[in-house]
Structure 1
């Protein structure tokens, strides 16, 4: 297994924690999966200056991977990523992941829509991370795909990849949407899907229904994000209602 180049950890420390907390070395296959998942997590993040400055080093890391199908998909992505203008990269990212509902990176949205159940699912994910001894940064929701991939790389194929398996249909829908849009990000989703169990007929039928109908409708009158802790950035959260005026209260 070829390690990441020595100059990459400065990026990895701030974006994706290296799996140094493991008490015993993981088998080679688990290490390979963890490296692929960490790279997918990095490359699926917003291409800010820090990430675009490290593009060539990330491409070198991908080029050093063993010749697996997932590695070939990552190489196809980094070939585009390293040669594209940074401003164009940012515009493309926003168009694909912020402006299109079918390729949003927030996985619980596909399963629960903007409902109270989604808030509960976000809380359960955050609790899963804490139980594994991992606290996520406050900048993203716990269901953001790069965050889920980071946890999978750290915690391993069993409990670490459980959230990915749970949201397999959402991941598949994102892959289909990016493929239909002709986005190079489709290669990252193809690499990820190649690491997961193949979708069942039921999964594919559910993905087709999601694509046609969208996620569950909003439950009117219910705060879908609990107390607002897990609301996506920029979401309007109405203020708490004022307490009722008691009879005889001089107002």
Structure 2
């Protein structure tokens, strides 16, 4: 899209940009297929426990039955790998990619706000959005965990439901880039999701490059003495683990009788 003339009032330019980036109206069939794609991405990005692993035949069949699209093609690539791994390998790979790799964490507000006070407000706002739509999460994950955000998008629809995904598009781009650099098959799931969002702008690409180079915002709360988190990487949410608490002080047993005095 060519730059808008600067003579147009800022409010009008903003509305034009919003209209250009807003999802097109979908037919009922397209909406149904989109909901299924979002739910599949949500499922496939969850921890591969025994229950999810046992459902692989159903997941693979569902992916194969998706209407042809770039997103369906990406998911088919992931499903083929997912179906052929043993449970231990799946669990190990998931932990390595999403729990131990700083640039592919699934907590979206971290990429936008880092470990700052603004992140807490963003989490609260996201929870309020869910409740306003009549959806209560089970509390097992933070509201910005990508599978949770995807499930909300599937439930609430392309407009307001997908707004958090559009808001955190740069974080999603960063996760996809990190997974691609690592050669992880999970890159296919992120690629499928990104095909459902508006194309990135030049500003988006520049912001992702800056995130790669510098990491998210940081309030400098004095954790430097605890060391760095790896060359070229930044700390994920909850990366700092406090030391184990000291053993409780042992208190001598109380006298057995209240009337018994010192001897």
Instruction: State the partner residue of 2:67.
Output: 66
Instruction: State the partner residue of 1:141.
Output: 142
Instruction: State the partner residue of 2:103.
Output: 102
Instruction: State the partner residue of 1:112.
Output: 113
Instruction: State the partner residue of 2:192.
Output: 191
Is the CA contact 1:77–1:188 (under 8 Å) kept in the aligned structure 2? yes
1:148-194 Cα shifts (integer Å, max 9, x gaps): 00000000000000000000000000000000000000000000000
Instruction: Identify unmatched segments of 5+ residues in structure 2.
Output: 1-26, 223-236, 243-263
Equivalent position SS for 1:133: coil
Is the CA contact 1:141–1:232 (under 8 Å) kept in the aligned structure 2? no
TM-score by length of 1: 0.78
Instruction: State the partner residue of 1:30.
Output: 31
Instruction: Identify unmatched segments of 5+ residues in structure 1.
Output: 1-25, 222-230, 237-251
Instruction: State the partner residue of 1:47.
Output: 48
Report deviation, 1:31: 1.1
**1:97-246 paired onto structure 2 within 5 Å:** 97-220=98-221
TM-score by length of 2: 0.74
Is the CA contact 1:175–1:186 (under 8 Å) kept in the aligned structure 2? yes
Report deviation, 1:234: 9.1
Report deviation, 1:28: 1.4
Is the CA contact 1:116–1:219 (under 8 Å) kept in the aligned structure 2? no
Aligned CA RMSD, in angstroms, stands at 1.8
Measure, in 2, the Cα distance between the counterparts of 1:233 and 1:140: 16
Number of corresponding residues: 203
Measure, in 1, the Cα distance between the counterparts of 2:169 and 2:142: 18
